[in-house]
Amino acid sequence: MDAHKKIKSALRRELKYDRVDLIDDVMHRLTNITALCGEVTHSIKMQKRMGRLLLRDNPTIIAPACPDYSHMEGKYTFRSLGKGIPLLAQVHCQFLKSIADYLPDARIIIALADHEADDALLCDAVGVSHKTFRAYVAESVAKTNTYVSEFGWTACAMTHYIPTLVDDERRIVDELTGDPHLQRRIDTETLQRGEMYTKISRSLSFADMRARTIKTAAQYIALGTFAAEHNAFVCNHTTTNLSWYLQTPVSVLHNPISVY
């Protein structure tokens, strides 16, 4: 059975063979959406997840975005922090406008990572205090919200939208740290992310970098779990962290662009 037939068969079972008239429309939208997305979206497993969500009315899409870090030629430099619309939010907006052609009733939320203000290393890298970092992110949220409201979307601080995020991350960090089967994977991803870590600080040891890799993986798992529990898509850029979403049942709209 080819991929198309496998997905249609899964959707029929999801509908318990009732309202199967919906399937052709879902398959049309799924095919067009997948064509816009990167490789993580292309697997049969992911498309089955997406198809199930597309059977619902007014789907939600959560697009996490970094604060307004400095950037050059489309890549973050982490040398300063601004108060405008973050690079990643801008990139996601371009992508999501195309997605919205096939999901015109989608509820789209740009969620800015306000809790990164609690990261002392990031505060040092961009040269601002925790309090100033928070204030800048709040201004970025407001400006981003004003911009995306033109499309009927919203922007918010990530921890306002997911109040349990930080606590969930801490719990998952402990789980990842204690899982012997994941340690080689974490080491590999730490090496892959080394260039980005060096942009933030040249004084980081491998152990420091590794701890950050685990923390970021935990954030992706927490976000993916939340989105899946709330029947929402996650829109995410290309990064080594994408595979951690596969630890959850979330449907991923892979925006095929890198900002690191």
pLDDT in tens, 96-110: 999 999 999 999 999
Phi, psi torsion values for 179, nearest 5 degrees:
-95, 110
Average pLDDT of 161-169? 97
At residue 92, does pLDDT exceed 70? yes
At residue 10, does pLDDT exceed 90? no
CA distance 82 to 63: 20
Read off the pLDDT band of 22 (50, 70, 90).
confident
| Structure-token pair, residue 246 | 């596969």
Count how many Cα atoms sit within 13 Å of the Cα of residue 168 in the half-sphere of its side chain: 17
Percent of the chain beyond pLDDT 90?
85
Beta carbons of 70 and 78 less than 8 angstroms apart: yes
Window from 13-22, 139-148, 212-221 with minimum mean pLDDT: 13-22
At residue 47, does pLDDT exceed 70? yes
Q: Which residue has the higher pLDDT, 113 or 58?
A: 113
Read off the pLDDT band of 17 (50, 70, 90).
low
Q: Which CATH class is domain 57-255?
A: alpha beta
Report field, pTM of the whole predicted structure over 0.85: yes
At residue 7, does pLDDT exceed 60? yes
At residue 227, does pLDDT exceed 90? yes
